[in-house]
Structures are given as C-alpha cells and as structure tokens.
Amino acid sequence: MLNIKIERTASPKTKPDYSKLGFGKYFTDHMFLMNYSTEKGWHDARIVPYGPLPLDPSSMVFHYAQELFEGLKAYRKADGKIQLFRPMKNIERMNATCDRLCVPQIPAEDVLQAIKAVVEADKDWVPYDEGTSLYIRPFIIATDPMLGVHPSHTYIFAIILSPVGSYYAAGINPVKIFVEREYVRCVKGGTGRAKAGGNYAASLIGQKRAEDMGCAQVLWLDGVERKYIDEVGAMNVFFVIDGTVITPELTDGNILPGVTRASCVELLKKWGVPVEERKLSIDEVMEAHANGKLDEAFGSGTAAVISPIGELYDGDTKMVINNNEIGPVAKRLYDAITGIQWGKTEDIMGWIEKID
C-alpha cells in the first residue's frame, strides 16, 4: 500500500469544451509521480500539480529510449459515478513490458491505488458528454544521467490524465487503412508485444506513408515473412471472413496483447460467434475480398474502442469492405463494450472497477 502525498494546485485550469475534445490534447490539473532507485526501490509516491519534469539532458530515456507506457480510461456513468475498465489487464501488461525492457516492476495493487488516487484527485475532469472519457496514461522513464548503454538504476513512474473524445476525427465511421509492405514494426524476439514508446517511434514512418495516401492508419505485416497480418498502428485488428471472426494470434510475440482485443474475443466466445486467433495472411484477406467473403474488418484499442475499416489500400489495389459501412459484428462489439464501460448495461463480464 502506497503512502501518497497530495499537493493540490493553487491555480486550477479552465476546462476545455467537452464537445470538441479530440484525443490527447488537454491535460488535467494533477499528475502522479513516484521515483525508483536501486537503494530505495519505488518510493516517494505523490500527486502534484501537472507540469514539466526537470530532467538531466543525459537522462537515459533521451538516448536509448528505455521507456514504456500504458493507456486506459475512466468513464462517467449517467449517475455521475466514475469507473475503470479492466485496469488490472493494463497493469499486468505494464509489468510484462517492464520485464522486457529491464525496468523494475511495480506491485500491481500499488499501480491500481495510484491510478485511482490521481483520477479521484481530478474527478471533476472526467467528462459527462456522450462518447467522452478520461484517458489515463501511466508511463515509466529511465533517468540515470549517463551515456553507457545499460539498464538505468533510477526511474520515474508518472500518470497523466487527458479528457478525450474519439481517437479518430471520423468517430465510429469507417477508416481507410494502408498496407505497409516496405517497413516493419517489429521482428520475432523484438519488443512487439511490449508497450514500449520505441515501437511507436519505429512505426511513424509507416504512419506518415499512410497519411500521405489519405489513410488514417497503417496495417503492419510480420517482419519475417512479410505476409502475415500483425496489427494496425494504434489498434489490434479483426477480419470477418465468411462468418468467422479472425484476429492474429499472440503466440509469436509480435502483437500487442490489447485489452479491448481480449474483451472482443471473450465476448464473441460468450455469444457463440465463431472466432479464431491464428495466423492470417494478407493474401487470405485479399482472396476473401475477391470472392465476396470478406464481410467486415475492424480495429480494436483503448483509445479507438472499435473502429471499422472501410477501405484497405495495398499498393494500387483498393479494397472496399462492407460498402464502407460499420458491420454487424463491429457494431455489436462496440455497443457491448461501450455499454459496460459507461455503465449503460450490466457488467455481466465482471470487467468494471469502481472509483467512487
């Protein structure tokens, strides 16, 4: 159990217009911080006014990217109460990423306590408007002031909060996705399954190429054979082929084990909808499209929730999926997951963690 000191801001900010939030543009009044040193372990848990972190320019995070993060949300129910969606899944993944990046783990119950405490401190910032939430961004950075390449001996764990609307400007409307054939996101044995900032740095070139093509995101293929589907830039991905929902399997360690991905698979199984976690090649998707059997495609993620894919661009080939409309599987999952998240439907899966 952490002993969290709280220093409240003397000058609270003006809240943004909650009908025009977008994603990740506004930050709340406070943040959670905790330090690590080899001698003291994780210590000095505190909530302080949101603001810059003074760091030595030689801090290892700036040079060797020993950094990791998570993303989850707090939701406001109609009765005003606030709740989290499966926070322990994020916390377990954070600690798995810590192991991969040689960062000392933080006890899961301490992370949950910290998340709840900082959300509680800024609870006025959890928006009420339909489709909005408070995005929670925990992250850890390596702070040793030295240039040798080795795991740092000191770290900062921080949690910042951002009131958000939908991740894509298009909202729940179908997005265009670009199939990246030149660059890869990760290779076997790499950091693909970790939520490491460096993964996203490596993905930017694909994201830029996607945007140049008028697409919202990039679809990554595996780094070894360059033919199996891994994931989309900020989401896991699902294809519905001839009535079966297929998502790339996690076993190769290339794919981020998404909390929304897991929730989709669990719900589909509960509903008795055929769902397969397996290798899926881009050729199989193209063939299914050519045969009229590609019923739907959609991405899943905390930020994006469920995002239908309306068009897939692969070189000169353009595939329009489900007439560029949200399909029944994506819609059912979106309604079920957001229903539980915002407390509109009963939490039959036991996924909710109440804050107040």
For residue 43, what are the β-bridge partners?
35
CB of 234 to ligand COI, least distance (A): 4
Closest residue (Cβ) to ligand COI?
A: 71
Determine, following the binding rule CB under 6 A, whether residue 307 of this chain makes contact with ligand COI.
Answer: no
- Of 67, 137, 93, nearest to 250 by C-alpha is 93
Determine, following the binding rule CB under 6 A, whether residue 119 of this chain makes contact with ligand COI.
Answer: no
Question: Measured from the CB atom, is 18 or 200 closer to ligand COI?
Answer: 200
CB of 134 to ligand COI, least distance (A): 12
Determine, following the binding rule CB under 6 A, whether residue 248 of this chain makes contact with ligand COI.
Answer: no
Q: Give the span between the Cα atoms of 113 and 1, in whole angstroms.
A: 8
Determine, following the binding rule CB under 6 A, whether residue 234 of this chain makes contact with ligand COI.
Answer: yes
Determine, following the binding rule CB under 6 A, whether residue 301 of this chain makes contact with ligand COI.
Answer: yes
Q: Give the span between the Cα atoms of 109 and 103, in whole angstroms.
A: 18
Q: Give the span between the Cα atoms of 303 and 135, in whole angstroms.
A: 8
Question: Measured from the CB atom, is 165 or 301 closer to ligand COI?
Answer: 301
Contact region for ligand COI (CB under 6 A) — 74-82, 101-109, 265-273, 295-303?
Answer: 295-303
Can you point out the beta strands (E) in 132-243?
133-142, 154-164, 175-180, 217-221, 229-232, 236-241
Question: Measured from the CB atom, is 46 or 89 closer to ligand COI?
Answer: 89
Q: Give the span between the Cα atoms of 90 and 104, in whole angstroms.
A: 16
Question: Measured from the CB atom, is 115 or 303 closer to ligand COI?
Answer: 303
CB of 301 to ligand COI, least distance (A): 4
Determine, following the binding rule CB under 6 A, whether residue 114 of this chain makes contact with ligand COI.
Answer: no
Site for ligand COI in 165-204 (CB under 6 A): 200
Interface residue with ligand COI, options 28, 302, 322, 341 (CB under 6 A):
302
CB of 38 to ligand COI, least distance (A): 29
Pairing of strands 154-164, 217-221: unpaired
Contact region for ligand COI (CB under 6 A) — 52-60, 296-304, 318-326, 347-355?
Answer: 296-304
Determine, following the binding rule CB under 6 A, whether residue 327 of this chain makes contact with ligand COI.
Answer: no
CA atoms within 13 A on the CB side of 259: 24
Determine, following the binding rule CB under 6 A, whether residue 71 of this chain makes contact with ligand COI.
Answer: yes
Report residue 113 as tokens.
Answer: 């306590």
Torsion of CA 110, 95, 259, 216, to 10 degrees: 120
Instruction: Tell how far CA 344 is from the center of its chain.
Output: 22
260: three-class secondary structure by DSSP: helix
Which residues of this protein are in contact with ligand COI, per CB under 6 A? 71, 200, 234, 301-303
